[in-house]
Amino acid sequence: MTTFLEALGMVAAPDVLLAILVSAIYGLVVGSMPGLSATMATALLVPVTFYLSPIAAVATIITASAMAIFSGDIPGALLRIPGTPASAAYVDEAYAMTRKGQPELALGIGLWFSALGGIAGTISLVVLAPTLAELAFSFSTFEYFWLAILGLMCATLVARSSPIKAIAAMLIGLLVSCIGMENPGGIPRFTFGSTDLLGGIEVVPALVGAFAVSEVMRALLLPEPPKMPHRRFGSIMAGQIRLTKQYWNQMTRGNIVGIIIGVLPGAGADMAAWVSYAMSKRFSRTPEKFGTGHPEGLVEAGASNNASLASGWVPSLLFGIPGDTITAIAIGVLYMKGLNPGPTLFTERASSMYALYIIFMLANIIMIPLGIMMIRATSHVLRAPRAAIMPIVLVCAAVGAFATGNNLFAVTVVAAFGVIGFVMEANGYPVAALVLGIVMGTMVEQSLVTSLIKSDGSLLPFFERPVSAILAVMTFAALLWPAGVWLHRRLGRRGRAQAA
Amino acid sequence: MVHLTRRGFVASAAALAGGAAQTGSAWAQGAYPSRPITLICPWGAGGGTDACARIVAQGLEKELGQPVNVVNRTGGSGVVGHAAIAAAPPDGYTLGILTVEISMMHWQGLTDLTPRSYTPLALVNEDPPGIQVKADAPYKNVKELADAIKASPPGKMKASGTGQGGIWHLALVGWLRSLGLQPNHVTWVPSNGAAPGMQDLAAGGVDIVPCSVPEARAMIEAGKARSLAIMAEKRNPQFPNVPTIGEELGTVYATGAWRGIAGPRNLPPEIVAKLGDALKKVYDGQAYRDFMNSRGFGMKWADAAGFAKFMDEGNAKMGEDMKAAGLAKAA
């Protein structure tokens, strides 16, 4: 108890509280800009943390990343442009709700279930950290392979177009992820002698191009859609309690999936959002409503991606192994501030640990009032003329891409994927599946090739190891499910025909 | 082989004249530095090299009395940033932080840049690889591990810790060669950095992870792994219990991942001298030492001449090991 009070005192220091507030606003603004991801928001904070006290430094990272993941939903819902890769999974759904005249509900779901998900993730961090960390150790590359395959299979579920076109789009994404030398062999592929292509195509510029630039191009061709009825935004929080009761199971499932995916090193909030949205659709009683502005999938995916953010800190704090790209940066800051990750952090420096827990809670609580203010401020976007919005989106996309590495090549990538995304959408190929392919491609290849190197080419360990076997069964079940359903119906009909 | 065409010759002559004019104007403006300096970091914000560049920049700012801005030029697996440093005008206003990759990438045919494409200023860091095994592995010391490796059939044992052809892979290759073994006697399992390698070690996927000891520190403290030795000439004062390979095996093998500050080729000697003095003061300062200790990075100093010699030697050794391992591009 004394350590807890001590921790409370550490967090209540004015510099820490100020750091939380400022980084919260910063995270909200950066996350809501198309092209600036949560990872980048965190990376840009590192030079600032040099000048802060240890607790304040870690507080800025925790707060800014949580805010950025939520606020990535805002441009997604308002303009159909996801702010971060984690929002790409359900951007169509959120935008459909806006077009139905429920933007405040769509954004309210993002906010409310992000905050609840963050709190659930924090509780898992406090209560289950050692148990969850052991889980991470039962995952070797064999298990990651199945996980990545399951992730890829979300492509057909998430998209509303024909499954064939979704798979084709995903395969294009996989092809894009082959570019460069960041592959297990370390061999440059498809680089055509270009130095810039050696590093491959990064996810964020590709995402920004495929969603934002293609949206701008479409706006050039299509007549302006009918104006949304001019009105003030209604209450953002109204109806959230009702949705929480109605979709309690979905929310809990989203939280659990998010926590598990977050704990696994290398799989972060992006993957959590995809898997949860796909699961929601698969297990829904009304899957046909998905994609038409139905809250169910948003609840589950929103709950999932913020839960994964908090649980991603488990392996980082216990073993110095990053759960995702954000915690990879955070580990550097922890070392620099003398809060070395490891079990001693939990025992010898327990008060600092408690302080981190309190900051996690605090960040997710202040997310609600600050998020409401942010949503109100950005809602004017819906009333602004399209001719004013689109050029700004284009500038944001170009500047954001350049800022990631001060490299003009990223801007070229944005432009190229804008054209690719435009052509794909015009022909009914979902760009979300393309982005999924790019996100998961490296993981699929890396886990398959390294697994085969370790097993000397034998396929047996993919089915032999206990966790691997379970994941393999899940993968094949998901693959064969549609065939099974078809067969069942057919046999059932024949059975009835014979009986008659 | 460089083909000197007439157009190429004219262009390079013009570039030389331009460079001379620029340095001339810089001197005309008064004592160097008279305006802000840019320090290019070829790796992303938030990483170890970025942090190192920023702490050096802070120190230089104090010593030189001019702002020193760190600019991350990422992409192309480090090639883009390294190329930007080499291509900058040699006026002392654009410098950069070089990493060990500059002595590796050209052997793979990824770039024409070598350590000779720069004016070395100072070596500021080197992290030697350690030899980490799982906590409950049967080897008590590195000698027993070496014997076990020699006794095992080729390809049976596995090691991980970075991508194919990365620095820790080459450390393993060099060590195996110093034991008189084939470079592929222990199979390399490529991983996306040291942390996933350490995780796989604890999960039982690989037998050895030859990453630096600080990278493995959290896992060692958690009782999941042990460090048997480091491939360095001297013990690391932060990890005094970990012996060197020389102490345990008698064979000397030392290598490491390093970082150093450099400018483009043909930096005027006055500027090199001034920056060298300033960097020495930064390196000796308390702020730099505290930073390096807190991150667990190894302190290593060499002045301009020493850094040049260090890179040349490292470059030659890398070439040998990479050719032996079949990682170098056939010339």
CATH, residue B156: 3.40.190.10
Host domain of residue A192: 2-226+238-481
Question: Looking at residue B23, what is its pLDDT?
Answer: 46
Rounded to two decimals, what is the model's pTM?
Answer: 0.81
Residue B97 lies in a domain: yes
* Residues B186 and B288 grouped into a single domain: no
Domain termination residue (choose one: B184, B217, B249): B249
Residue A473 lies in a domain: yes
Residue A487 lies in a domain: no
* Residues B136 and B226 grouped into a single domain: yes
Query: Is A436:A173 a contact under the CB 8 Å cutoff?
Result: yes
* Residues B134 and B239 grouped into a single domain: yes
Smallest Cβ–Cβ distance between A453 and the set B166, B189, B195 belongs to: B189
Question: Looking at residue A14, what is its pLDDT?
Answer: 92
Residue B106 lies in a domain: yes
Which chain A positions have a beta carbon within 8 Å of B71's beta carbon? 406
Residue A256 lies in a domain: yes
B105-144 residues touching A, CB cutoff 8 A = 108, 110-111
Q: How confident is the model at residue B2 (pLDDT cuts 50, 70, 90)?
A: very low
Domain termination residue (choose one: B249, B278, B293): B249
Question: Looking at residue B217, what is its pLDDT?
Answer: 87
* Residues B188 and B153 grouped into a single domain: yes
How confident is the model over B112-132, as pLDDT tens digits? 999 999 999 999 999 999 999
Q: Nearest Cα to A38, choosing from A93, A94, A114, A119?
A: A114
* Residues B120 and B178 grouped into a single domain: no
Q: Are residues A181 and B77, on separate chains, in Cβ contact within 8 Å?
A: yes
How confident is the model over B53-108, as pLDDT tens digits? 999 999 999 999 999 999 988 877 888 899 999 999 999 999 999 999 999 999 98
In angstroms, the separation between the Cα of residue B327 and the nearest Cα of chain A is 9
Residue B10 lies in a domain: no
Look over chain B and give the mean of its residue pLDDT values, rounded to a whole number: 87
Which chain A positions have a beta carbon within 8 Å of B155's beta carbon? 456
Residue A16 lies in a domain: yes
Residue B2 lies in a domain: no
Domain count, chain B: 2
Minimal Cα distance from B110: which residue of A? A195
Report which residue type is found at A69: I
Host domain of residue B267: 33-127+256-324
- Count of pairs with CB atoms under 8 A, one residue in A, one in B: 162
Which chain B positions have a beta carbon within 8 Å of A336's beta carbon? 51, 291, 294-295
How confident is the model over B273-284, as pLDDT tens digits? 999 999 999 999
Q: Are residues A335 and B296, on separate chains, in Cβ contact within 8 Å?
A: yes
Which chain B positions have a beta carbon within 8 Å of A44's beta carbon? 45
Flag the least confident range among A345-349, A377-381, B139-143, B198-202.
A345-349
Q: Are residues A140 and B70, on separate chains, in Cβ contact within 8 Å?
A: no
Residue A490 lies in a domain: no
Question: Looking at residue A174, what is its pLDDT?
Answer: 95
Domain count, chain A: 1
Question: Looking at residue A383, what is its pLDDT?
Answer: 80
Q: Are residues A47 and B80, on separate chains, in Cβ contact within 8 Å?
A: no
* Residues B160 and B210 grouped into a single domain: yes
* Residues B151 and B67 grouped into a single domain: no
* Residues B134 and B243 grouped into a single domain: yes
* Residues B278 and B228 grouped into a single domain: no
Residue A356 lies in a domain: yes
Which CATH number characterizes residue B272's domain? 3.40.190.150
Question: Looking at residue A231, what is its pLDDT?
Answer: 63
Q: Are residues B221 and A338, on separate chains, in Cβ contact within 8 Å?
A: no
Residue A99 lies in a domain: yes
Residue B19 lies in a domain: no
Minimal Cα distance from B113: which residue of A? A195
Residue A130 lies in a domain: yes
* Residues B236 and B297 grouped into a single domain: no
* Residues B114 and B157 grouped into a single domain: no
Q: B226 has which bridge partners?
A: B133
* Residues B108 and B205 grouped into a single domain: no
Smallest Cβ–Cβ distance between A405 and the set B72, B166, B294 belongs to: B72
Query: What average pLDDT values come out for chain A (500 residues) when binned by 10 residues?
Result: 84 92 93 79 84 91 90 89 83 89 89 92 85 75 87 76 87 94 85 87 88 90 72 75 89 92 79 89 86 89 89 83 81 83 78 90 93 89 83 88 83 95 92 87 89 90 88 85 78 68
